[in-house]
Structure 1
Amino acid sequence: MKSLILSGSLLLQAVAFAQTAAPPSASAPGQPLTISQAVDYARLHSPGLQGLQAHVSAVQALEITAGLRLNPSIVGEGTQNTLSNTDPNGPPFYGIGLQRVFETGGKRSLRLDAARANTGVASAQFDDQRRSLDFAVRIAFTRMLQAKLALAIANDNLAGYRRTVDLMKVRLDVGDVDRTDFDRIELQLAGFENDQTNAQLNLTQASEQLQLLLGEPHGLTSFDITGTLDLPQLASTEKQLEDAAIAARPDLLAASRQVRANEAAIRLANANGKTDPQFGVEYEHSGTGSTGGFNLQIPLRIFDHNQGEQERTRREAESSRLLLQQQVNQVISDVDQAYAAYQAAVVQNARYQTKYLAEAAHVRDNLEFAYRNGNATLLDYLSALQDYRLTNLAALNAQATAQTALHQLSYATATEVNP
């Protein structure tokens, strides 16, 4: 699945909320976090997301520049001044004036519209990055939870097999089994020990990855999470999920706002092709006389009507409309693919949870009992142990894959599909 990239006042409210108060569910990273608490914590403490918030504020600051009126100019002059006692050219002349360009065509209002539209695009893109962060946190949380459960399984398997080795040692001591069979059983202990070591390493790495997303530069060994990989019943249909995605996806909103921003740019480019007159007033003093006057300058836009910018903005607008339609198609495809992946993962997970996991445990327990009592071969018992280990890990992977598919579906729809 491709990785996919609020307006003005809504964004400011969200940013202010994020900077001033944590959600009620947020906890300190030293305490066990639920998946929703981890998402809330990451939204508040992720340096990357905070940097994007600052970028949106920077874009919004351009609205101030767009709304500024043109400054007037003061013009002063003095002529016929001399350092001698007499001036054959007559008395000195002094003048001062005030000039200002008056914008026509509503340029200031259109600049504001264009700047606000660009802020809307940036804020929607920020919202999409937050969606991506939420998804990354959920995936990392699921991986850490999977690693915790895998470590628990590895610990249980190791403890159970050590009991088998201890029992076989007793039988070896009394002569019920020979040394070769005992060594073969004890050699299998290395596999269980390796499983436990690898599971511990996976848990440590998964914890570090999740804490990094939460904005913690140094992983805490006391960091912990709590949750389950049990799947809820999905209540929404595929069509309902498509409609929800079209209404909620921030990348689609950004594409829609880009169309409006380009349309605003067209109107501004047209207005910039209009003439702006310059009007000024002046005061003049020469000898003992004082006079006043005014001047008006109207540029003759005979050749340059801003045609190039007008054409560019029109083409940009047409491009953004086509890209918007492409984004709509991409959103629907994302939902359809995520929905199909979830349905497949649910079926696969159900196979293990309702059948194969229990069968593997049943076979292992029966053959362990039979072997301890001399009614099964060592090869049968070791094969049952291997099948049980692989089935347990496969069942756990299937459960985690289904949870990941559920997160992908939430990401594709930009909604929380988990009831």
Structure 2
Amino acid sequence: FNLRDAFDRVLLAKAVVGIAKENIAYYDRLISINRDRFGEGAISKVDFQRLELQRVQFESDLQTSLVNLRTAKIDLLQLLRERTPVDDIDIRGSFEFTEPVTDLEELRKIALAARPDLREAQETLTKAQTDHKLAVANGSTDPTFGIDGSHQAPPIGTYIGFSVSIPLRIFDKNQGEKLRTQLDITRTQKLEDATQIAALHDVDASWATLQSTLELLRPYKTKYLREASDIRDTVSFAYQRGAASLLDFLDAQREYRDTQLNYLNLVGSYFSAANQVNFSVGREVIQ
């Protein structure tokens, strides 16, 4: 669980670095265009300076994301007990969410069959039942059959004898062990029930968290990301032609940046929630 979580955090940090680099490259192109406009007198010096100052935010985002990526790699290497220098490793993997192909009922069934703590509880109950059967068997009284034969000189000659011995059950045997093992069965049954309830609660809670995250992610995937990109491009185009204010231009850049970061953080939350579902079920069911 911890290793998978650390791996996902590296993927998130890499994705944020990628977006930060993309944003600063896009903004640098806009600065270059507006530098030419400033030289032509199309915008004032103050407006151009404000454009350049806004680049500080994008540069800060990039440096912060690089630090976070390095920290995430260090954490992963520590879990792997790996001594490779952090600058010499790279992590590859898809950082996109996909809709789960399973449902809650299926996850509950898998958990009941796969969770190690449930299997341990079931094995403990089986052992208690076996111990009780052994105690009952040790307390039972069984008849004893015997046969004897001999050949001697006359007058006895040859004879064969049979015997049957049946103990009289005046006092029950092994009473204490029978009672102890029966109580042990009752106790382990209750422990198994409690473990099962806890396991199903874990599955239900982790599934609810996953579904909540998906509800937030879906509109980003289908609408918000596209709208933020369209608004940024439209306002940038309008500003370069004097049809939008500097404030509108800066707001559009900020909204696009915030939308992208929110989306990536939600994908990271989805990965974390999926990891928790897998942990609560007892095996990987959501990639």
2:88 corresponds to: 222
Whether the 8 Å contact between 2:15 and 2:95 is mirrored in structure 1 is no
Change (3 A) 1:209 1:219: farther
Whether the 8 Å contact between 1:211 and 1:219 is mirrored in structure 2 is no
2:32 corresponds to: 166
1:322 corresponds to: 190
Q: Does 1:379 align with 2:247?
A: yes
Change (3 A) 1:209 1:266: farther
Structure ranking higher on relative contact order (CA contacts 8 Å, 6+ apart): 2
Structure 1: state its 5+ residue gaps: 1-134, 274-304
User: Residues 29-64 of structure 1: CA distance to partner in whole angstroms, max 9, x if unpaired?
Assistant: xxxxxxxxxxxxxxxxxxxxxxxxxxxxxxxxxxxx
The structure 1 residue matched to 2:71, chosen from 205, 209, 215, is 205
Distance 2:69 2:138 in 1: 61
Output the amino acid matched with 1:246. L
Change (3 A) 1:272 1:213: farther
Change (3 A) 1:201 1:310: farther
Q: CA deviation at 1:375?
A: 1.0
Change (3 A) 1:314 1:378: same
1:404 corresponds to: 272
User: Residues 202-255 of structure 1: CA distance to partner in whole angstroms, max 9, x if unpaired?
Assistant: 111111122222231455322122221223342223211111110010111122
The structure 2 residue matched to 1:366, chosen from 234, 241, 259, is 234
Output the amino acid matched with 1:397. N
1:417 corresponds to: 285
State the TM-score, normalizing by the size of structure 2. 0.78
Change (3 A) 1:223 1:314: farther
Distance 2:96 2:69 in 1: 19
The structure 1 residue matched to 2:263, chosen from 391, 395, 410, is 395
Q: CA deviation at 1:344?
A: 2.1
Q: CA deviation at 1:384?
A: 0.6
Whether the 8 Å contact between 1:357 and 1:391 is mirrored in structure 2 is yes
Structure 2: state its 5+ residue gaps: 140-172
Distance 2:37 2:116 in 1: 67
Q: CA deviation at 1:308?
A: 9.2
Q: 3-state DSSP class of the match of 2:88?
A: coil
Distance 1:344 1:219 in 2: 38
Distance 1:235 1:354 in 2: 19
The structure 1 residue matched to 2:56, chosen from 185, 190, 196, is 190
Q: Does 1:175 align with 2:60?
A: no
Report sequence identity in percent: 35
Q: CA deviation at 1:141?
A: 1.5
1:251 corresponds to: 117
Change (3 A) 1:271 1:216: farther
Q: 3-state DSSP class of the match of 1:338?
A: helix
Distance 1:185 1:225 in 2: 35
Q: 3-state DSSP class of the match of 2:81?
A: coil
Whether the 8 Å contact between 1:140 and 1:210 is mirrored in structure 2 is yes
Moved more, 257-266 or 184-193: 257-266
1:147 corresponds to: 13
Q: CA deviation at 1:145?
A: 0.7
Q: Does 1:242 align with 2:108?
A: yes
Q: Pairwise mapping of residues 98-113 of structure 1 onto structure 2 (< 5 A)?
A: none
User: Residues 279-304 of structure 1: CA distance to partner in whole angstroms, max 9, x if unpaired?
Assistant: xxxxxxxxxxxxxxxxxxxxxxxxxx
